[in-house]
């Protein structure tokens, strides 16, 4: 019996285990296998090979419901459908079943999950910006939360490293608030965007509007093809033309020969070895058989996504860690953040009536943060800042729905022709880390596999609301200054979670008494466990976080391997 158990244990023993195969997990897989570690990647969902994208070429008329999901789909994805676009027919299969995977909310939290190999690296928005120097200093300068244990200069070489592999297209701008990276050629702005850019620069004292920095390739890159300008990225790209685990990092890991990928593996806890004072492995439930299986490794990377990684830690209870692995500080589960958005403005232009574009650009324009970045731009009503994403397009036939008195031959002809140009921008704003914004483990509500679930208690507070007022006002001001007509603001419900940039809950920090992770993303008290997904974030900035997860993951993997080689782990 002992021999058999020993044999199974040896069979289940690897050099490294990675929990999750999304943006962070894919990078951990690539880096660890690339440095020679036999690496097991545990993914809770089904396998998705690159190219397994069933809706990649689906046309509108090939979907029965056209622009609507069926009632059955919505019934199983009530919470996933809150984002408005996730459960449309083209992408519903990339989001979790809310009935099998329930969660609870003391306050509304829209938790969008991608439970399959590749995770949300298939459906992400692909906007890729570096944090800036201010982002890393903001907490300590303002006396908020805790200080990051790293600075921009620590991460810069890893931004370089990950950008070069991933392939980010963008323009060099020399803006301190939005550090330049290693870019493939930028995509181009259309007629109205160029015009608005010029006018805003003149009217708003040089305020820059730039083309988005996006993880879509503008030329072939490392065996992946250039973007074909279909703008159907959310469905998965058979050309591999945007960065995903499936198209980029996982194939690189496979090529090393060191990767074992195990789908349908739900990590329930990280196993703590009291005698050795270290983690020994990961316990999973096989999603198909319900069987509990233990896997063992010297080093464990939790890259399950922010909420999931923290949940696994909370569920990893032992005598040493009665409230969850690494929770000596009591901060595990706390300081939950997201970006708040869905506020901005749009306006019409009568110019360029005889101009159009060809190709559907999978990118927009970006207005880098211009508030609280200097003495002159310091606000009295809020701290931190926001950026705008948006762009110009010609209004299409959807505008005709509300024109009640318009119908018939002329109406049809008008709707077939491109409508007037419209330029719109929406702001993405930073949320402060508040201790009270948290997630916790709920043993009363169980999922399909009998596991406890997540309960959220998170809300925007005064700083966010004050910022939103300025987001709206400054959008209107900018568009009017650009000469656009009928400038109309919008300010729609933006519940925490909806932006799908959930961050925090296992924050990095200098002091084990007030943080969960150290400067290398190691749990202070369990140095052979690394957390490099959104959970590690000590503050959230206003820029899309995925590029930062890539950089942090690659940096932490490098440290992990070096430590293993130095026999420190």
Residues of this chain that bind other proteins (CB under 8 A): 57, 59-61, 64-71, 187-191, 194, 228-231, 352-361, 394, 396-398, 400-402, 404-405, 407-409, 411-413, 415-418
Cβ closest to other proteins, residue 187 vs residue 479? 187
Report the alpha-carbon angle 297-115-298, nearest 5: 5
Cβ closest to other proteins, residue 60 vs residue 289? 60
CB of 537: closest distance to other proteins in angstroms?
Answer: 33
Query: How far is Cα 546 from Cα 121, in angstroms, rounded to an integer?
Result: 9
Query: How far is Cα 249 from Cα 252, in angstroms, rounded to an integer?
Result: 5
Cβ closest to other proteins, residue 161 vs residue 397? 397
Q: For residue 347, what are the CA distances in angstroms to 109, 235, 370, 428?
A: 31, 30, 21, 19
Cβ closest to other proteins, residue 241 vs residue 337? 241
Cβ closest to other proteins, residue 415 vs residue 487? 415
CB of 83: closest distance to other proteins in angstroms?
Answer: 19
Cβ closest to other proteins, residue 290 vs residue 359? 359
Query: How far is Cα 134 from Cα 385, in angstroms, rounded to an integer?
Result: 11
Cβ closest to other proteins, residue 73 vs residue 150? 73
CB of 398: closest distance to other proteins in angstroms?
Answer: 7
Cβ closest to other proteins, residue 191 vs residue 204? 191
Query: How far is Cα 127 from Cα 116, in angstroms, rounded to an integer?
Result: 22
CB of 93: closest distance to other proteins in angstroms?
Answer: 17
CB of 397: closest distance to other proteins in angstroms?
Answer: 5
Cβ closest to other proteins, residue 60 vs residue 380? 60
CB of 73: closest distance to other proteins in angstroms?
Answer: 10
138's enclosing H/E stretch is helix 133-142
Q: Please, which residues have CB within 8 angstroms of residue 313's CB and are 6 or more apart in sequence?
A: 270, 302, 324, 325, 326, 327, 332, 506, 516, 523, 531
CB of 364: closest distance to other proteins in angstroms?
Answer: 12
CB of 281: closest distance to other proteins in angstroms?
Answer: 46
Query: How far is Cα 209 from Cα 394, in angstroms, rounded to an integer?
Result: 20
Q: Please, which residues have CB within 8 angstroms of residue 65's CB and are 6 or more apart in sequence?
A: 89
CB of 544: closest distance to other proteins in angstroms?
Answer: 21
Query: How far is Cα 426 from Cα 285, in angstroms, rounded to an integer?
Result: 41
Rounded CA Rg of the chain: 24
Please choose, from the candidates 187, 190, 196, the residue with its C-alpha nearest in 3D space to the C-alpha of residue 348: 196
Query: How far is Cα 316 from Cα 529, in angstroms, rounded to an integer?
Result: 12
Cβ closest to other proteins, residue 392 vs residue 552? 392
CB of 231: closest distance to other proteins in angstroms?
Answer: 8
Q: What is the DSSP string of 238-296?
A: TT--B--IIIIIHHHHHHHT-EEEE-SEEEEEEEEETTTTEEEEEEEEETTT--EEEEE
| Phi, psi for residue 306 in degrees, rounded to 5 | -50, -55
Q: For residue 14, what are the CA distances in angstroms to 35, 38, 274, 529?
A: 14, 6, 20, 14
CB of 336: closest distance to other proteins in angstroms?
Answer: 33
Helix/strand/coil for 165: helix
């Amino acid at each position: 019996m002992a021999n058999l158990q020993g044999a199974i244990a040896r069979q289940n023993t690897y050099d490294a285990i990675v929990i999750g195969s999304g943006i962070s997990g894919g990078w951990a897989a690539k880096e660890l296998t690339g440095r020679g570690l036999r690496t097991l990647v545990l993914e809770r969902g089904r396998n998705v090979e690159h190219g397994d994208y069933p809706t990649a070429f689906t046309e509108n008329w090939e979907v029965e419901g056209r622009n609507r999901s069926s009632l059955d789909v919505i019934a199983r994805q009530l919470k996933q459908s809150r984002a408005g676009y996730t459960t449309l027919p083209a992408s519903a299969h990339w989001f979790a079943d809310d009935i099998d995977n329930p969660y609870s909310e003391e306050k509304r939290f829209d938790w969008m999950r991608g439970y399959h190999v590749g995770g949300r690296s298939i459906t992400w928005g692909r906007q890729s910006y570096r944090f800036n120097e201010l982002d890393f200093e903001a907490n300590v300068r303002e006396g908020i939360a805790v200080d990051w244990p790293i600075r921009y200069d620590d991460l810069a070489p890893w931004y370089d490293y990950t950008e070069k592999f991933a392939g980010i297209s963008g323009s060099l701008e020399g803006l301190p608030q939005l550090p330049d990276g290693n870019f493939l050629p930028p995509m181009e702005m259309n007629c109205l965007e160029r015009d608005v850019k010029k006018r805003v620069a003149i009217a708003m004292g040089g305020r820059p509007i730039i083309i988005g920095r996006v993880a879509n390739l503008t030329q072939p890159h490392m065996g992946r093809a250039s973007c074909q300008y279909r703008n159907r990225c959310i469905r998965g790209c058979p050309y591999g033309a945007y960065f995903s685990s499936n198209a980029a990092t996982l194939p690189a890991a496979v090529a090393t020969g060191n990767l074992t990928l195990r789908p349908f593996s739900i990590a329930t806890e990280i196993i703590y070895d009291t005698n050795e004072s270290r983690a020994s492995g990961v316990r999973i439930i096989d999603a198909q058989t319900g069987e509990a299986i233990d896997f063992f490794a010297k080093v464990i990377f939790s890259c399950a996504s922010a909420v999931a990684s923290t949940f696994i830690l909370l569920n990893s209870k032992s005598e040493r860690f009665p409230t969850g692995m690494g929770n000596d500080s009591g901060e595990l589960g706390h300081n939950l953040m997201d970006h708040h958005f869905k506020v901005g403005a749009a306006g019409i232009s009568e110019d360029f009536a005889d101009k159009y574009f060809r190709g559907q650009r999978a990118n927009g324009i970006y207005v880098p943060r211009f508030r609280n970045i200097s003495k002159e731009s310091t606000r009295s009503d809020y701290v931190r800042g926001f950026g705008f994403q948006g762009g110009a397009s010609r209004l299409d036939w959807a505008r005709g729905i509300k024109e009640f008195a318009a119908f018939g031959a002329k109406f049809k002809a008008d709707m077939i022709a491109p409508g007037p140009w419209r330029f719109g921008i929406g702001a993405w704003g930073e949320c402060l880390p508040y201790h009270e914004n948290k997630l916790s483990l709920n043993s009363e509500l169980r999922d399909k596999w009998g596991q406890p679930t997540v309960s959220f208690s998170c809300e925007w507070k005064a700083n966010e609301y004050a910022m939103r007022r300025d987001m709206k006002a400054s959008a209107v001001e900018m568009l009017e200054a650009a000469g656009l007509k009928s400038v109309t603001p919008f300010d729609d419900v933006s519940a925490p979670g909806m932006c799908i940039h959930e961050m925090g809950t296992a924050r990095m920090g200098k002091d084990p008494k007030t943080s969960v992770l150290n400067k290398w993303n190691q749990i202070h008290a369990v140095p052979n466990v690394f957390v490099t997904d959104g959970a590690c974030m000590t503050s959230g900035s206003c820029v899309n976080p995925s590029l930062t997860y890539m950089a942090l993951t690659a940096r932490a993997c490098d440290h992990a391997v070096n430590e293993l080689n130095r026999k420190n782990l």
